[in-house]
A and B are shown apart, each in its own frame.
Chain A
Amino acid sequence: MGDIFSNLGLGFSVVFQFVQWTPAFLGGVSIPIPVNILLCLIGALVGTLVGVLPGIGTIATVAMLLPITFGLPPVGALIMLAGIYYGAQYGGSTTSILVNIPGEAGSVVTALDGFQMAKKGRAGPALAIAAIGSFFAGCVATVLIALLGAPLTRVALAFGPAEYFSLMVLGLIFAVVLAKGSVLKAIAMIVLGLLLSMVGSDIETGASRMAFNIPELADGLGFATLAMGLFGFAEIIRNLDAGGETDRKLVQEKVSGLMPTRRDLKETAPAILRGTVLGSILGILPGGGAVIASFAAYTLEKKVAKDPSKFGHGEIRGVAAPESANNAAAQTSFIPLLTLGIPPNAVMALMVGAMTIHGIVPGPQVMQKQPDLVWGMIASMWVGNLMLLIINLPLVGIWVRLLRVPYRLMFPSIVVFCCIGIYSVNNAPTDVMIAGAFGLVGYWLIKHDFEPAPLLLGMVLGPLMEENLRRALLISRGDWSVFVTRPLSAVLMAIAATLLILAVLPSLRKKRDEVFVESEN
């Protein structure tokens, strides 16, 4: 127990670190500046700002804003990125409540009751309860991460390469099973990602693989490049198809009376609690995380409610539960990343990309060698949530105005912003072209109902998987059975196989689709 407090203490001391700033114009007087808090605040603000823009999901937001953190020290950069992530998520729920355009899959359910509430002039309480629920969920999740962090790291350190490989297989299978859409296609996307990650030089022999003597490919496809192409550019092109101006009916009623009534709070308290618990659990599991959590929380609320017919007509619990679950899952999904070094979803994959750019290899070693980084990030999560609560409620008016920015002006801006961002990573024009190519690939994938998110996950896990597979087989002298003879690895593999079989079975498939479909209708 004492461990946890000292760890959290360390984390908060990192977050509340003051740096003396001695500007020349003050004549040697130095002012203490809480750099990390400021970064967290800026991240949350910018994240919300971009997340609010319709048609830009969380992944796209984080991918687009990745380059602006490159110039920062690692701790600051990760704190800011985490802030961007929460901000983007909150921005997504704001758009779904106010305009009925969920920026991302996770806030689809929020739009159901949230938009109805907004139509009745109760947008204020809906936004407030979303923020309050998120904050509560965030607090619980922060404590949970602190509790589970150290023991899970110890487990992870006992893992050999065979266990690691099996764990990654399990993670990928989870990601497929918990996500929406065809299991087969999702697996194909993961394998395509794995294949793309092979481009570049081989870790052991240094041989150039599939690089076609293009110098920019010698180091492999840039992760940020690929992500921005697949998510930034592809989404722009896709939105242009749909006609950017269609169905953007903004709620015209003024957003007034922000605070929810006492009755609202009393009604939503149990819903927030249920959502938090459900979200925390689902978030730890690799895979859909936030998305499945919000769908499941909504379905659960509907099941336990005395009068389920109220849902879909502006029921405040229908906003509170999925929003809490969403946020809880978003945070607990950091657990596998920080302790095991395995990103459970596409956003976390982007975090890995950011860490790698700063020279940090995520995994259990980070927890031991750079505790300030890990615990600083965990503490910053709580601070970030508090900031969202404080900054977002007064700023709702600004966000609403932002929603009125027409798409015809927005999309060229995003194109330019992404171009500069990609270019600034390596100062390489080729990277920009590669991202453009992947933009077209992403557009094609979307058109054929292939999800690009698993591709990203495969791309990040590729090198890790190959390395561990090679090592495991080297240790076992080429004996493939090590994956099933080592007990821990065998258990992980068995779970993965069972999950996969269950997911393909028709009866369970139907259940899984039901969770998604029922909430949509």
Chain B
Amino acid sequence: MNATPGHAPVKSIMPKWVRNPQEFVGGIALMAIAVFALWASSDLQGMRGFSFGAGTAPRMFGFLLLGLGALITVVGIFTEGPHLAKYHWRGPFFVTVAILTFAFTIRTMGMIFAAMAAFLIAACGSPETRWTETLIVAVCLTAFCALLFPYALGLPLQLLPTFMIR
């Protein structure tokens, strides 16, 4: 899990006094998550006498995360570190769209359609994709999964679209 932080002299949007933007932004994000969790668990009951309520543990961990996030942010101000890593939009975008497509079509269209669609959309995520071979592999993989999951593993998966079964 070695991420390679971008060394390119990207024009930093960070103010100058932030010397380690990676940590700075990371810490702030963690604090944001902690605040969100604290807000989300604010309706839960706290301590009742000496026994925990439903909200005690979430709040405890929330405050702990808030503190740790703050600490990381402070570290980000006072230590030297790499610039913000460069994000690419293409890979994450198409993979996410593929996953969403699968999630939205699996119930109505069945596994064969959902798997094919997800495969082809995900394939757009790489500029190296060649369509003939991609299509062949997509068909083979879908066929393999259609045999593996419902038959070999006995999992209840609907293969065909609902309108075709009726």
Contacts and interface: CB of A to CB of B under 8 A. Distances in A.
Contacts of B134: 408-409, 412
B99 interface: yes
Nearest to B22: A448
Given A412-B119, A423-B106, A188 B69 contact: yes
Contact of A447 (B75, B85, B95): B85
A288 to B, nearest CB: 12
A466 interface: yes
A245 interface: yes
A191 B61 contact: yes
Given A416-B102, A474-B51, A188 B128 contact: no
Contacts of B25: 448
Given A195-B58, A210-B37, A432-B99, A188 B126 contact: no
A255 B57 CA distance: 56
Interface residues of A, number: 72
Nearest to A463: B57
A289 interface: no
Given A187-B68, A436-B99, A416 B119 contact: yes
Interface in B37-57: 37, 40-41, 44-45, 49-55, 57
A241 B6 CA distance: 12
- 9 smallest CB-CB distances across A and B, nearest first, come from A478-B50, A240-B91, A436-B99, A207-B54, A412-B122, A202-B54, A432-B103, A448-B26, A188-B68
A420 B149 CA distance: 8
Given A409-B134, A430-B103, A449 B5 contact: yes
A444 B25 CA distance: 11
A453 B37 CA distance: 21
Interface string A232-250: 0100111011101100000
A474 B148 CA distance: 49
Contacts of B126: 240, 244, 407-408, 411
Interface in A196-220: 198, 202, 204-205, 207, 209-210, 212
B115 A416 contact: yes
Given A415-B99, A415-B118, 8 more contacts: A70-B153, A207-B44, A408-B126, A420-B111, A420-B149, A423-B103, A423-B157, A432-B103
A71 B118 contact: no
26 contacts: A184-B68, A185-B72, A191-B61, A191-B64, A191-B68, A195-B37, A198-B57, A198-B58, A205-B53, A207-B45, A209-B54, A236-B91, A237-B92, A407-B126, A415-B122, A416-B115, A416-B119, A416-B141, A417-B141, A419-B99, A427-B156, A436-B95, A436-B100, A449-B3, A473-B52, A478-B50
